[in-house]
A and B are shown apart, each in its own frame.
Chain A
Amino acid sequence: GDSVVQTEGQVLPSEGDSLIVNCSYETTQYPSLFWYVQYPGEGPQLHLKAMKANDKGRNKGFEAMYRKETTSFHLEKDSVQESDSAVYFCALRGEAGGFKTIFGAGTRLFVKA
């Protein structure tokens, strides 16, 4: 079945550091890819998305490139801020199985001031 793997459970950069959060996926279909963000006490919400290969999703200085050849969708930012601290989920959604969305385990980002 489809799966999404996030290799880091937690990352602890300092404010101003660059960031890469890894995301790899497995699927037999051609999915859309998403990053969702979850703040304390809230449900996840869409952060950015990409619908096809070589698309780049962007939001609030974050970027992620849909790389079909490496089945990856890594989340990157040049300079993180304390307010970026949250849990980030990589996800895929495709046609098989009725468009259900599969989430990775999540990466907790804690930016030190």
Chain B
Amino acid sequence: DAGVIQSPRHEVTEMGQEVTLRCKPISGHDYLFWYRQTMMRGLELLIYFNNNVPIDDSGMPEDRFSAKMPNASFSTLKIQPSEPRDSAVYFCASSPATARANTIYFGEGSWLTVV
């Protein structure tokens, strides 16, 4: 089975540009998560969806960040305008239904550098 698929794997962009990160979750998974990883702050949960509906976006740092999930097989995380402090690895992850013991499955990450 294919895992969580993220694109792009690496992106270098200039400050002020729009960045769009994409994610295809594992088929049949009800939950989708966006995490950000930095040396300073570790793994931070930005937002998560259940059945394509955003449930908790309290981790989104500011209005420059937005996320959508138009259908069960696709999600985007957008940063507009980007700033150097947004440089990080962004992970998408998915999980099957509501049993609390269920594992979440991460993609390989999108490495973002804003210069």
- Count class of interface residues, chain B: 20 to 34
Instruction: Tell me the residues in window 34-48 of chain B with beta carbons closer than 8 Å to chain A beta carbons.
Output: 35, 42-43, 45, 48
Q: How far is the CB of A106 from chain B (nearest CB, A)?
A: 6
> Is A99 within 8 A of B98, CB to CB?
yes
Chain A: interface residue total (CB-CB under 8 A): 25
Per-residue contact bits, chain A 41-54, to B (CB 8 Å; 1 contact, 0 not): 11111100101000
| Assembled-state Cα–Cα distance A43/B55 (Å) | 23
- What residues of A have a CB within 8 angstroms of the CB of B101 in the complex? 32, 49, 51, 93
- What residues of A have a CB within 8 angstroms of the CB of B98 in the complex? 99
Apart from A100-B48, A104-B42: 5 A-B pairs, beta carbons within 8 A = A43-B106, A101-B45, A101-B104, A103-B43, A106-B43
> Is A89 within 8 A of B43, CB to CB?
yes
Q: A104-B42, A105-B42, A106-B42 are in contact. Are A99 and B106 (CB under 8 A)?
A: no
- What residues of B have a CB within 8 angstroms of the CB of A44 in the complex? 43, 91, 106
Per-residue contact bits, chain B 16-36, to A (CB 8 Å; 1 contact, 0 not): 000000000000000101010
Chain A residues within CB distance 8 Å of chain B: 31-32, 34, 41-46, 49, 51, 89, 93-95, 97-106
Picked from A43, A46, A99, the residue with its CB within 8 Å of the CB of B108 is: A43
> Is A101 within 8 A of B106, CB to CB?
no
- What residues of A have a CB within 8 angstroms of the CB of B108 in the complex? 41-43
Chain B residues within CB distance 8 Å of chain A: 4, 31, 33, 35, 42-43, 45, 48, 50, 55-56, 91, 93, 95, 98, 100-109
27 sample A-B contacts, Cβ–Cβ < 8 Å, listed by A number? A32-B100, A32-B101, A34-B103, A43-B91, A43-B93, A43-B106, A43-B107, A43-B108, A43-B109, A44-B91, A51-B100, A51-B101, A93-B102, A95-B100, A97-B56, A98-B50, A98-B55, A99-B98, A100-B33, A100-B56, A101-B33, A101-B45, A101-B95, A103-B43, A103-B45, A106-B42, A106-B43
- What residues of B have a CB within 8 angstroms of the CB of A100 in the complex? 33, 45, 48, 55-56
Closest 9 pairs (CB-CB, A-B)? A43-B106, A105-B42, A103-B43, A46-B103, A51-B101, A32-B101, A98-B55, A32-B100, A44-B106
